[in-house]
A and B are shown apart, each in its own frame.
Chain A
Amino acid sequence: MTTPVREELARRISDALSGRPVRWAQNVLGDYDGRERTLEIFNADAAEQRELFRSLRPIRKEMEAVAGGPVIVIFHTRAESARLYSDFVERALLAEVTLDVDTAARILDVEVPPLGTDIALHPRSGAPGTGSSELPRKAA
């Protein structure tokens, strides 16, 4: 089942995992407990998986609530992501870049304050200067 809430959660999980492509698994072969609640995370090598899994702790309850039970998390290594899932991974990374560019464009759209600022001139108060512009100035 794909719902906007699940998709939004997948996007947030991707953000929490340094932008790694993430999706809810669909049409997985075989049967196992939690099959309908399987999340795939791409570009995650063996040495990274423990920390990535741990970093999901703060949102695990929310994941369970949205998915309807404990979420099965499948990490695909970089090699297997490229070998087996390159279409999805490329699309996801491209969408991420497009989103970044779009966001940057929107930020630049905002009225930017002028780089130069007009400074009002006022008559000098106090003792006049020597008029010298030499450096370094030495004390008299």
Chain B
Amino acid sequence: MRLDEKARENLEAAERLLDRSDDGRVEPLSNAATARAYYAAYQAVADRAQQEGLSFDSRGAQYYRHDTLPSRAQEWGILDDDLCDDLSRLRDLRVKADYYEDMIEYDEASDAQVMAQRLVAEVLERKAS
């Protein structure tokens, strides 16, 4: 499965995890949705970077470091200023979702899903065109 396909799958996962029903039987899973939204965005950018032959910057395992990827992707021309901010915010929300005691609120998770949707669309559509 390619990274761009994984990006789309994670995006759909984020949407499904935010589902809620009027009767309260289905509640949104905001922490999980936020993490999936970030990985959708990360994989879309990583896919573009791979397609363009841009190298990893991690020393051990081969991957694009999470802390530096937004600014590197901006330098590479994959992201503009606003999308760079969005990827940074998604990264930071995902850190909060996974490592902090805070509960991610529904509005934060919903924002994350919207940011990821826009970023994945822009990055992958530009690749296609």
Q: Which A residues are closer than 8 A to B by beta carbons? A: 28-30, 32-34, 37-38, 45-47, 49-50, 53-54, 57, 69-70, 72-77, 79-80, 84
Q: Could you tell me the dominant secondary structure of chain B's interface residues?
A: helix
Question: Contact between B68 and A77 (Cβ–Cβ < 8 Å)?
Answer: no
Q: How far is the CA of A77 from the CA of B107 in the complex (A)?
A: 11
Q: A33-B66, A72-B92 are in contact. Are A53 and B102 (CB under 8 A)?
A: no
Question: Contact between B68 and A70 (Cβ–Cβ < 8 Å)?
Answer: yes
Q: Which B residues are closer than 8 A to A by beta carbons? A: 65-68, 70-71, 81, 85, 88-89, 91-92, 95-96, 98-103, 105, 107-108, 111
A25 (CB) vs chain B CBs: closest residue: B100
Question: Contact between B108 and A38 (Cβ–Cβ < 8 Å)?
Answer: no
Question: Contact between A72 and B98 (Cβ–Cβ < 8 Å)?
Answer: no
B108 (CB) vs chain A CBs: closest residue: A46
Question: Contact between B68 and A69 (Cβ–Cβ < 8 Å)?
Answer: yes
Report A32 CB to chain B, min CB distance, Å: 6
B96 (CB) vs chain A CBs: closest residue: A74
Q: Given the complex, which residues of B lie within 8 Å of A49, measured CB to CB?
A: 89, 108, 111
B103 (CB) vs chain A CBs: closest residue: A80
State which of B65, B89, B108 has its C-beta within 8 Å of the C-beta of A77.
B108
